[in-house]
Chains A and B, each alone.
Chain A
Amino acid sequence: MRRYLALTCEALTRSIHAAAADAPHTVTVELLRQGLHNTPKSLRAALQEQIDAAAPGAYDAILLAYGICGTSTVGLVARSIPLVIPRAHDCITLYLGARDRYQAEFDAHPGTYWYSLDYMERSADGASVGLGAATIGAMDEIYAEYVRKYGQDNADYLMEVMGEWGKHYDRAVFIDMGGADGQPYEEAARAEAERRGWRFERRTGDRRLLTMLVRGEWPADEFLVVPPGYRIRQSGGGLVDCEPVEDAEG
């Protein structure tokens, strides 16, 4: 039996706990606030702080239940304990269970907005928000601030520009990870999709990658093991790789 520390985004709370509950190892789960990826520096700093706080020898490995998350995990350094991270873009891969599955979804419908129970129930102001969206309430506040600062004409223009991305999206997908009743959240996602004029679909999630992560099954094509003294770097394909810290500094 091994001892692992799993550093996890709130967006994966239920799934990582379920996976950890069935793991043959002793897994300590630490949750970090979701949405930190919006400023990769903040997420990187929060993760490195947790990594640095782990006493040498306290764990056999520190598991990062993250993807590259917009380069948030690039630059993280393994001290005396190895780090393990799935080779994934972001939590959608972890929800869907395989990088290829996400890639196929992405290639078919790049304009997809993803929803999940964990993310929605842990959003600051309730249910009607998907992964990464500003909420409707927040948008009202932003608009009022723009009117005050720049005048109504400019505020209208800014809201139009900021809302532009939504016009290029055409699909909402709710990922059902099983377990708890996600019905109310699925309905909220469906309602938001209708309001925005997006097609609505649901997918059944798969805890496969998270399960492999906490079970210590780390095939090299799907997981990166970062030895002590190595740093995570971005690889050519947009995913993660690692290099010795001295090389990165030299």
Chain B
Amino acid sequence: MSLLAEIRQTVIDGQAKQVVPKVEQALAEGVAPDTILHEGLISAMQEVGRLFEEGEYFVPEMLIAARAMKAALAILQPLLVDQGVEPLGRIVIGTVKGDLHDIGKSLVAMMLEGAGFEIVDLGVDVAPERFIDAVRNGANVVAMSALLTTTMPNMKTTIEAIEAAGLRGQAIILVGGAPVTQAYAKEIGADGYAADASSAVRIARQLTGK
């Protein structure tokens, strides 16, 4: 197996500790950082998404794969910046105000990062103003999640606040979370809805034209 294939497989298997020396070795052998990114990491996370959709992978497998991907990405990131490799887009992500449940959101963030997006993770309980600031600072996608029906209405409030700030045209808005549906997303004027982390990547790529 080639070194790139090994890196890819190690990410799919979620072995964070093993992937780091392999990436270092690849760099030492002169493999370009963006080649490692695309053929090692992004390709691995696509496979992870596929395994999830096929029902072979569940949340734990996705989490450890994403963790391995992040460990490798941490090494590549400064080199990619030097190389002038542009991310697919800048996504600001967070759970809406009042919602404190971040496992799903973090998983979505990691999958998006693994697809080549730059992620600004605002964490949990994010007030509309903080999403707005991130859009002002260049985020072109806003991704919001809510686990509870109690906090779901804050997605609508946030979209209204982005509109009121005159920034609606500058960002694509994605929503998700257990109680959220396509119909609700449409009703509140979101651009996209994703049922899980894997489809979040697909929708984000589709809507950003990447």
| Interface residue ranges, A against B (CB under 8 Å) | 40, 68, 70-71, 89-90, 102-103, 106-107, 110-111, 146, 149-151, 153-154, 157-158, 161-162, 164-165, 168-169, 234, 236-239
- Pairwise interchain contact B106-A89, C-beta atoms closer than 8 A: no
Whole-angstrom distance between the alpha carbons of A70 and B178 in the complex? 7
* From B67, B99, B124, B151, contact of A154 by CB (8 A): B67
* From A89, A149, A153, A165, contact of B150 by CB (8 A): A89
- Pairwise interchain contact B179-A107, C-beta atoms closer than 8 A: no
CB contacts (< 8 Å) of A70 on chain B: these are 148-149, 178-179
> Could you write out 18 A-B pairs with CB less than 8 Å apart?
A70-B178, A71-B179, A102-B150, A103-B150, A106-B98, A110-B100, A110-B125, A110-B151, A111-B100, A150-B14, A151-B15, A157-B16, A157-B63, A157-B64, A161-B63, A161-B106, A234-B179, A234-B181
Cβ distance B136 to chain A, nearest Cβ, rounded Å: 26
- Pairwise interchain contact A238-B150, C-beta atoms closer than 8 A: yes
* From B61, B63, B102, B152, contact of A165 by CB (8 A): B102
Whole-angstrom distance between the alpha carbons of A214 and B103 in the complex? 39
8 more contacts with CB within 8 A, not counting A236-B156, A237-B153, A238-B149, are A70-B178, A103-B150, A106-B150, A110-B98, A110-B99, A162-B103, A165-B103, A168-B100
Q: Which of B28-36, B113-121, B162-170, B182-190 contacts A (4 or more CB under 8 A)?
A: B182-190
Cβ distance A103 to chain B, nearest Cβ, rounded Å: 8
CB contacts (< 8 Å) of A90 on chain B: these are 149
B101 lies within 8 A of chain A by Cβ: yes
The residues in B between 127 and 179 inclusive whose CB is less than 8 angstroms from any CB of A are: 148-153, 156, 178-179
Whole-angstrom distance between the alpha carbons of A110 and B106 in the complex? 19
| Interface residue ranges, B against A (CB under 8 Å) | 14-17, 60-61, 63-64, 67, 98-103, 106, 124-125, 148-153, 156, 178-179, 181, 183-184, 187-188
Prevailing SS type, chain B contact patch: loop
- Pairwise interchain contact A158-B63, C-beta atoms closer than 8 A: yes
Whole-angstrom distance between the alpha carbons of A168 and B98 in the complex? 11
- Pairwise interchain contact A238-B153, C-beta atoms closer than 8 A: yes
With most chain B CB atoms within 10 A of its CB, the pick from A151, A236, A239 is: A236
- Pairwise interchain contact A71-B178, C-beta atoms closer than 8 A: yes
- Pairwise interchain contact A239-B64, C-beta atoms closer than 8 A: no
- Pairwise interchain contact A89-B101, C-beta atoms closer than 8 A: no
- Pairwise interchain contact A154-B14, C-beta atoms closer than 8 A: yes
With most chain B CB atoms within 10 A of its CB, the pick from A146, A150, A153, A161 is: A161
- Pairwise interchain contact A164-B102, C-beta atoms closer than 8 A: yes
Whole-angstrom distance between the alpha carbons of A89 and B15 in the complex? 40
- Pairwise interchain contact A150-B60, C-beta atoms closer than 8 A: yes
CB contacts (< 8 Å) of A107 on chain B: these are 98
* From A146, A157, A165, A236, contact of B101 by CB (8 A): A165
Whole-angstrom distance between the alpha carbons of A90 and B100 in the complex? 17
- Pairwise interchain contact B98-A164, C-beta atoms closer than 8 A: no
CB contacts (< 8 Å) of B15 on chain A: these are 151, 154
* From A68, A151, A168, contact of B179 by CB (8 A): A68
CB contacts (< 8 Å) of B61 on chain A: these are 150
With most chain B CB atoms within 10 A of its CB, the pick from A71, A149, A151 is: A71
- Pairwise interchain contact B100-A169, C-beta atoms closer than 8 A: yes
